[in-house]
């Protein structure tokens, strides 16, 4: 039985993850954490009526025997949360996006020091993991690429963690390249999107969307578009489940679900 605490349980992803833990006979939800909630117990939340799980609102009040910390919170909270988990011997399974490269490195160092397994996954969806792998493969042959990520309009960070991760994977295999016309100008600043190592990333935010990404490649006389869609947040739960099952077996913190698949 894997004992789990879920941070951000009031939110879209945290509530879905809490339900996944409750529904899994091999997992036990032993705590939930959400900084601004008033609940003393998860059962006070209408979506979880009948559940008896302590709810916490401040890191220094958390008392738990959890071995896994699932985090779907906000970019400004996740680093402190993951540090807390590692310092208390709890393996972090982090879905929250928006951490800096330095923060990720610091967490990896701490996990190694403490000999604790952990995972930061910019995307727990299998379609997104495959899209990133396929895009990396295609970039060897098509160095000209544009990334378009599309999300619901409540998303805080942009570009998405998945888009940044896609760009990083592409940058690993292609020589640095400034795309387009070197004399190009932007009549309205930002028209060409964000720039990462010569690639352009475009962030679309619209009600009705969940999480979607297209990677467009262009070459002489041809093009290739790779697309993935998360139509429902349940799409992320297969990956979260695998991470919860496996993360305690490791002694380092990985970035990317592919390391545990």
Catalog residues that contact ligand LZUJQKHR under the rule CB under 6 A: 97, 122-123, 151, 155, 160-162, 211
C-alpha to C-alpha distance for 238 and 91, rounded to whole angstroms: 18
DSSP 222: E
Closest CB to ligand NDP among residues 34, 39: 34
> Toward ligand NDP, which CB reaches closer, 174 or 235?
235
C-beta closer to ligand LZUJQKHR: residue 156 or 191: 156
162 annotated among ligand-binding-site residues = yes
Task: Identify which of residues 64 and 127 has a Cβ nearer to ligand LZUJQKHR in the complex.
Answer: 127
Question: Does the annotation list 237 as a binding residue?
Answer: no
CA count, 13 A, side-chain hemisphere, 202: 11
How many angstroms separate the first and last alpha carbons of the chain? 20
Q: Is 187 annotated as a binding residue?
A: no
Query: Could you identify the residue written with the tokens 């951490």?
Result: 99
151 binds, among ligand NDP, ligand LZUJQKHR, none (CB under 5 to 8 A by kind): ligand LZUJQKHR
From the list ligand LZUJQKHR, ligand NDP, none, which binds 54 (C-beta under 5 to 8 Å, kind-based)?
Answer: none
What does 216 interact with, of ligand LZUJQKHR, ligand NDP, none (CB < 5 to 8 A by kind)?
none
Measure Cα distances from 201 to 54, 75, 162, 188, 214 in Å: 41, 19, 11, 16, 10
Catalytic (active site) residue 259? no
The residue ranges that bind ligand NDP (CB under 6 A) are 7-8, 10-14, 33-36, 72-75, 77, 81, 95-98, 121-125, 161, 236
Is 11 marked within a binding site? yes
Q: Any known ligand binding at 95?
A: yes
Question: Least distance (Å) from ligand LZUJQKHR to the CB of residue 198?
Answer: 21
Q: How far is CA 200 from CA 69, 105, 145, 197, in A?
A: 34, 25, 7, 8
Q: Where are the beta strands (DSSP E) in the chain?
A: 2-7, 27-33, 55-56, 68-71, 91-94, 118-120, 144-151, 194-196, 199-205, 211-219, 222-230, 253-255
**3, 88, 155, 169: which one is catalytic?**
155
The helices-and-strands tally (H runs, E runs) of the chain is 6, 12
Tell me the three state secondary structure of residue 184. coil
Q: Is 57 one of the annotated active-site residues of the chain?
A: no
Residues recognised as catalytic:
151, 155
């Amino acid at each position: 039985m894997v004992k789990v605490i879920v941070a951000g349980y009031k939110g879209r992803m945290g509530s879905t993850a809490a339900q996944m833990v409750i529904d899994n006979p091999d997992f036990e939800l032993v705590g939930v954490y959400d900084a601004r909630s008033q609940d003393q117990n998860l059962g006070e939340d209408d979506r979880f009526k009948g559940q008896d799980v302590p709810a916490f609102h401040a890191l220094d009040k958390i008392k738990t025997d959890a071995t896994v910390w699932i985090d779907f919170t906000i970019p400004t909270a996740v680093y402190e949360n993951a540090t807390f988990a590692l310092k208390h011997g709890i393996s972090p399974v982090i879905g929250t996006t928006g951490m800096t490269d330095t923060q990720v490195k610091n967490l990896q160092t701490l996990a190694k020091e403490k000999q604790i397994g952990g995972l930061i996954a910019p995307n727990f969806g299998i379609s997104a993991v495959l899209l990133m792998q396929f895009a990396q493969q295609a970039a060897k042959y098509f160095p000209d690429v544009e990334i378009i990520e599309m999300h619901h309009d409540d998303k805080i960070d942009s570009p998405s963690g998945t888009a940044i991760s896609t760009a990083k994977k592409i940058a690993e295999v292609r020589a640095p390249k400034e795309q387009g016309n070197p004399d190009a100008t932007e009549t309205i600043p930002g028209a060409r999107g964000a720039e990462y190592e010569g690639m352009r990333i475009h962030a679309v935010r619209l009600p009705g969307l969940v999480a979607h990404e297209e990677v467009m490649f262009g070459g002489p006389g041809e093009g290739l578009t790779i697309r993935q869609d998360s139509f429902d947040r349940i799409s992320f739960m297969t990956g979260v489940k695998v991470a919860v099952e496996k993360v305690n077996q490791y002694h380092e913190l990985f970035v990317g679900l592919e390391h545990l698949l």
